Structure 1
Amino acid sequence: MKRFHILTVLLMLSWGISAQSHFDMVVVGGNPGGIMAAIAAARQGKTSVILERTRHIGGLPVNGLGATDIATREATTGLFMEFTTRIKQYYADRYGENSQQLKDCSDGFHFEPYVAASVYQDMLNEHKDKITVLLMRQFDAENQNISLRDGRIESICILNRENGEKETYRGDIFIDATYEGDLGAAAGVPFRVGRESKAEFGEPGAGRTYEYWKSLPASGSTGESDNAVQAYNYRLCLTNDPDNRVLFPKPASYNRDEYVSLIEDVWTGKNTQRAMLKVTDEMMEENRRHIAAGNQTKLPGDSWGIRKLSSIVKLPNQKTDGNNQHAAFISTDLPEENWPWPTSSWEWRDQFAKRLKDYTLGLFWFAQNDPELPEHFRKAMLEWGLAKDEYQDNEYFPRQVYVREGRRFEGVYFFTAKDALPVASDKRPPLHANSVTASHYALDSHAARKRETGRAHLDGFISYPTAVYTVPLGVILPRNVDNLLLPVPVSGSHIGFSTLRMEPCWMALGQAAGIAASLAIDDKVAVQDVDMPKLQELLIDQKATLIYFRDLSPEAPDFRLAQYMGLRGYLSGWNANLQGAVDEDTLQEWSALCGFKLRAVPGKTSRLEVLTSIYKRLRQ
């Protein structure tokens, strides 16, 4: 081996890079979407490198988002289900089958941050021969950091934050698993930032919107488009366990003026809930006197203590996932100041992250210490603090900002509210035959503006129920780059994206991206031209749910058949009802769909028998 080549290999090893100079797949972003993409590809025999900007993989579930955001748990399975199953098994193994910790993990959907980190690492470790994970690797969305030729990415340039050196990575397929969409933007994929108008797609909650939380529109709602980005915050791991509690420190940049509006909100009970419609000034003054007498608030919709500032969900070991309090005018969200984040440099983002951390610490310090707040409110607040066994290298504070929405790309399919809303009462949303996962969460957005004088609500806070829907492959496919997939900064409107943006869905889309990448490599085609039936078959092999049925799980013997037939329109109801007898109307419907006469006796032949005969013939 020549001397210069030996030195090159040694240098690469010192950086933590394998001697391999080319990967099947280059993944930018070590959040759950990127992790699952790498694992899914590894199971297809493909190599990948995950380039993570921080010192820790795992994204938000490792940084405080311990209460999984999903409405129908059985809707999203595959690698996400593997993750929750492993979480549950961790608590069972460590604490016992009858332990409180196992109960509190809620079947693996509620977990402590360090447990999520451990599970993700275990899943990656099972594919060490295929997956290389490199930390402190930063991609900046600038033209000089990407090499494109004939609609394909050839290589990207990454900053090694440890030594300040630049590194080049080449691959057959590239994955943008950043919350911001930095790689896609550098590749020239068209994107949107901000809110579409209500007129553009006719979506509920679109544009400038003031609403009572989960309720009804209020005055001031114009539905006009703007550049507002929904607020970010930190998902806090809080505890009221004195043995594991660290009280909130007063940040050096503390500015009391930012928090003084909380004083009147606590004394009067003012909040943004619908119940405030019936609350008079006299009732708020009566609440003030009630609190002054040493009582907690009695105003409808109001909360006391920690719940006035934070929405908390119980996690194992006396911890909670602390999120923004949706009913409050002031909480852990910091609207408006985050608007530049999606398209800003990492230097700006780091400055905002520090600003948000100091703001959050200051808010809780104020609530625990300011003498103008009721003494018994402060006492209730002092019961809570940061969990000292989490984030010990970061002052017990989450390491990553909750970036709810960055760039949203304009891909092969543009997802809007209509894709998640039922077409009629108790019916499914529109069915996507090229679905790569089912998913379910509300159309959900946080505030885009701070408190405004005369407004009873914060602009942008919405929540509209949806039904379990199908997600087409097209939301992760760019139109203009042949070897790029976008499983996290997906294609959709602000409102459409607001339901897709949950970690379970991102994990499922990451899984689909990993398999799609593998097929594109094997078949030597663009990612837009992968064999869709083959992709769906492989996803089902990995126990992914592509269309959800209430009466079938991935372990059911006829799950594969139901997925295949359901996506082709044979099973439009929420239940597959495979063991039930076929009726005459259904027989005629299925005959029209398949184009050949079906031999069955209405009322006697089972639906499964008929579907099996169609299934076999269609797959010949």
Structure 2
Amino acid sequence: MKQLFFLVVLMLGSFSCATTNTQDKQKQYEADVIIYGGTSAAVTAAVQAQKMGKSVIVVSPDKHLGGLSSGGLGFTDTGNKSVIGGLAREFYHRVYMHYQKDDAWAWQKKSEYGNKGQGIPAMDGAERTMWIFEPHVAEQVFEDFVKENNLDVHRDEWLNRESGLVKKDGKIVSFTTLSGKTYRGKMFIDATYEGDLMAAAGVKYHVGREANSVYGEEWNGVQVGVLHHKHWFAKNISPYKVPGDPSSGLLPRVSGEHPGVKGQGDDKIQAYCYRMCLSNHPDNRIPFAKPAGYDVSQYELLARVYEAGWDETFEKYDDIPNRKTDTNNHGPFSTDNIGMNYDYPDATYERRREILKEHELYQKGLMYFLANDPRVPQDVRTEMQKWGLPKDEFKDNGGWPHQIYVREARRMIGHEVMTEHETLSKRPVAQSVGMGSYTLDAHNAQRYVKEDGFVQNEGDIGVSAKVPYRISYGSLIPKKEECQNLLVPVCLSASHIAFGSIRMEPVFMILGQSAAAAAVQAIDANQAVQDIDYGTLRAQLLKDKQRLEHMPN
């Protein structure tokens, strides 16, 4: 009887061990290239690696792919669209093809929308591209890329930033997510807006604005007194609870700190916002509701702006198809939540969720304020009440975007650093892996009290890049002594102001593709990413229709 008992125990133990081993194996994943992130760059990187014959896994913290490109930013910041090639151009071509279908126009006739664009045609009959689109259309294009290329995408998987990354002899071996899944690869690509994998790998990075002295720049650092756009207080507005009385205390969303000296560095980052997609079609509109936690005092400063005669509320309600908008920040007090994101880049996941929730409350409260508060001019309230969140976008989130606009977070200090000298074509770039062309564009970083006692914003910069510029391969890779098998196409190595131009969604798609091509080459040559032959990489990128130089007409 005892022998039978021990036999049963032994069998049960063997079964238990087998089950455990099976479970462990189910949580172990391996591929040639591991991509962390769910952004547009992550998708193009995965497609490129797959097309070049390598196994690839996309480990996405996001459930929805595409980042900002599918998250409300449908009025694309393109700059010179002639330098957008490769998979990025394929993306915009597919958008074009979608809007050639009659059933794409559910809420508006195609002829009614016409050919609208941001200084460029929205639809280009010669090259068959479209640069303005609805969020769900962009997301479907990314999902089509996934399906057609049979990509392995693991969603809602969050890097264990504290202890999940294993590194040996200067290379990442694997990383583990919070769910316990482990991903091993030969090459890794960090395609997140935050640079979490890069940071976990011990790669040096910067948060905030460098002093101009660091790279010999003009437009970096604190920019007190520089007022480039229309996102500043053109009239004297008191920042105090009782106008003109400092003893009454500051209004919400005004800093009492000294703004700093022009040109000096700080740890402040440009403001974030949600790029809301709004609809004014009565059958596709969710009216702006009063959000839980609404506090009207948060918008007192805006009420005073209106009282001073400001009337530009709807200037950045940019039309996208089907009677919708890509709604962006405009004016001295708008959707940009100035000063409320400084700790976001290095924050824990829990703290980031708090920041996101605060931004959501601020922005939903702002919309409710504009549509209902009696201190808002009647014509603005009347118009605002025609708008709302769209029923047919972000359906699992009540019409609210999944992705906040992380305009800037960590930036790698890599093998090479892109600065304003390169983006303004004052200094040549030798090893191009793509091109940028957009204005050096930074949003406000702080709202402060001037010496005269009135409120002002600071940090909004717009400096034209008059000709397209090359982006260096060296800006995608860390220094060799820090990591030899990591590429970073989003939180790439750039100064704050240079990143202000590079940080456009088409460029992220371009750099994602180029990073993947470099990763595959490094695998094939059994080399560190710092040691690959640029001539070979260049030939591959040109073959894949990337545009590496500007050919003026």
What is the TM-score with the length of structure 1 in the denominator?
A: 0.76
For 1:319, the equivalent position in structure 2 comes to: 324
> In the TM superposition, what are the counterparts of 1:467-478 in structure 2 within 5 Å?
467-478=467-478
The alpha carbon displacement at 1:11 in A equals 4.8
Is the aligned partner of 1:384 residue 2:395?
no
> In the TM superposition, what are the counterparts of 1:211-290 in structure 2 within 5 Å?
211-214=226-229, 222-270=262-310
The alpha carbon displacement at 1:375 in A equals 2.2
For 2:432, the equivalent position in structure 1 comes to: 435
* Larger helix fraction of residues: 1
- Is 2:271–2:341's contact at 8 Å kept on the other side of the alignment? yes
Question: Which residue of 146, 170, 175 maps to 1:124?
Answer: 146
Judged with a 3 Å threshold, the aligned counterparts in structure 2 of structure 1 residues 21 and 263 are, in CA distance, closer, same or farther, namely closer
AA aligned to 2:156 is M
The alpha carbon displacement at 1:3 in A equals 6.9
For 1:73, the equivalent position in structure 2 comes to: 81
The alpha carbon displacement at 1:312 in A equals 2.1
Q: Secondary structure at the match of 2:458?
A: coil
For 1:548, the equivalent position in structure 2 comes to: 550
Structure 1 stretches of 4+ with a deviation exceeding 6 A read 2-6, 215-220
> In terms of mean alpha carbon deviation, does 463-472 or 373-382 score higher?
373-382
Q: 1:478-522: CA deviations, max 9, x gaps?
A: 012011111111001111111111111111110011110101111
CA distance in 2, matches of 1:455, 1:173: 53
* Larger strand fraction of residues: 2
Q: 1:231-276: CA deviations, max 9, x gaps?
A: 1100000122222111111111111111011122113224xxxxxx
Unaligned runs of 5+ in 1: 161-165, 271-301, 424-429, 552-620
For 1:464, the equivalent position in structure 2 comes to: 463
The alpha carbon displacement at 1:123 in A equals 1.2
- Is 1:476–1:490's contact at 8 Å kept on the other side of the alignment? yes
Judged with a 3 Å threshold, the aligned counterparts in structure 2 of structure 1 residues 433 and 206 are, in CA distance, closer, same or farther, namely closer
Q: Secondary structure at the match of 2:444?
A: coil
Q: Secondary structure at the match of 1:21?
A: strand
For 1:273, the equivalent position in structure 2 comes to: none
For 2:238, the equivalent position in structure 1 comes to: none
Is the aligned partner of 1:153 residue 2:172?
yes
Question: Which residue of 13, 34, 37 maps to 2:42?
Answer: 34
CA distance in 1, matches of 2:404, 2:83: 27
Task: Percent identity, please.
Answer: 37
CA distance in 2, matches of 1:140, 1:452: 41
CA distance in 1, matches of 2:23, 2:114: 46
Q: 1:382-438: CA deviations, max 9, x gaps?
A: 121111110111111001111111111110111100001133xxxxxx332210112
For 2:240, the equivalent position in structure 1 comes to: none
For 1:409, the equivalent position in structure 2 comes to: 412
For 1:56, the equivalent position in structure 2 comes to: 64
The alpha carbon displacement at 1:220 in A equals 7.9
For 1:503, the equivalent position in structure 2 comes to: 505
AA aligned to 1:186 is A
CA distance in 2, matches of 1:82, 1:99: 22
Q: 1:121-174: CA deviations, max 9, x gaps?
A: 11121111xx210111001432x11111110011101123xxxxx111100001
Q: Secondary structure at the match of 2:530?
A: helix
For 2:492, the equivalent position in structure 1 comes to: 490
For 1:295, the equivalent position in structure 2 comes to: none
> In the TM superposition, what are the counterparts of 1:537-616 in structure 2 within 5 Å?
537-551=539-553
> In terms of mean alpha carbon deviation, does 95-104 or 255-264 score higher?
95-104
CA distance in 2, matches of 1:7, 1:124: 32
The alpha carbon displacement at 1:55 in A equals 1.6
For 1:138, the equivalent position in structure 2 comes to: 158
CA distance in 2, matches of 1:413, 1:235: 32
For 2:215, the equivalent position in structure 1 comes to: 201
AA aligned to 1:268 is A
CA distance in 2, matches of 1:461, 1:382: 30
Question: Which residue of 405, 420, 423 maps to 1:420?
Answer: 423
CA distance in 1, matches of 2:104, 2:343: 47
For 1:186, the equivalent position in structure 2 comes to: 200
What is the TM-score with the length of structure 2 in the denominator?
A: 0.85
> In terms of mean alpha carbon deviation, does 108-117 or 382-391 score higher?
382-391
AA aligned to 1:68 is T
CA distance in 1, matches of 2:454, 2:408: 25
CA distance in 2, matches of 1:6, 1:61: 45
CA distance in 2, matches of 1:364, 1:406: 26
> In terms of mean alpha carbon deviation, does 32-41 or 220-229 score higher?
220-229
CA distance in 1, matches of 2:146, 2:192: 18
Question: Which residue of 374, 379, 400 maps to 2:403?
Answer: 400
The alpha carbon displacement at 1:4 in A equals 7.7
Q: Secondary structure at the match of 1:27?
A: strand
- Is 1:246–1:388's contact at 8 Å kept on the other side of the alignment? yes
The alpha carbon displacement at 1:199 in A equals 2.4
For 1:335, the equivalent position in structure 2 comes to: 338
Judged with a 3 Å threshold, the aligned counterparts in structure 2 of structure 1 residues 518 and 94 are, in CA distance, closer, same or farther, namely farther
- Is 1:329–1:451's contact at 8 Å kept on the other side of the alignment? no
CA distance in 2, matches of 1:167, 1:180: 21
AA aligned to 1:443 is L
Q: 1:541-599: CA deviations, max 9, x gaps?
A: 11000001133xxxxxxxxxxxxxxxxxxxxxxxxxxxxxxxxxxxxxxxxxxxxxxxx
- Is 2:230–2:332's contact at 8 Å kept on the other side of the alignment? no
For 1:370, the equivalent position in structure 2 comes to: 373
RMSD between aligned residues: 2.4
AA aligned to 1:267 is E
- Is 2:98–2:104's contact at 8 Å kept on the other side of the alignment? no
CA distance in 2, matches of 1:526, 1:116: 34
For 2:8, the equivalent position in structure 1 comes to: none
- Is 1:212–1:457's contact at 8 Å kept on the other side of the alignment? no
Is the aligned partner of 1:47 residue 2:55?
yes
Task: Count residues with an aligned counterpart.
Answer: 495
CA distance in 1, matches of 2:350, 2:104: 46
CA distance in 2, matches of 1:416, 1:186: 25
CA distance in 2, matches of 1:375, 1:339: 35
Judged with a 3 Å threshold, the aligned counterparts in structure 2 of structure 1 residues 468 and 215 are, in CA distance, closer, same or farther, namely farther
> In the TM superposition, what are the counterparts of 1:440-451 in structure 2 within 5 Å?
440-451=437-448
Q: Which has the higher contact order (CA 8 A, sep 6+)?
A: 2
For 1:359, the equivalent position in structure 2 comes to: 362
For 1:167, the equivalent position in structure 2 comes to: 181
For 1:521, the equivalent position in structure 2 comes to: 523
Unaligned runs of 5+ in 2: 1-13, 117-121, 124-128, 235-258
AA aligned to 2:419 is T
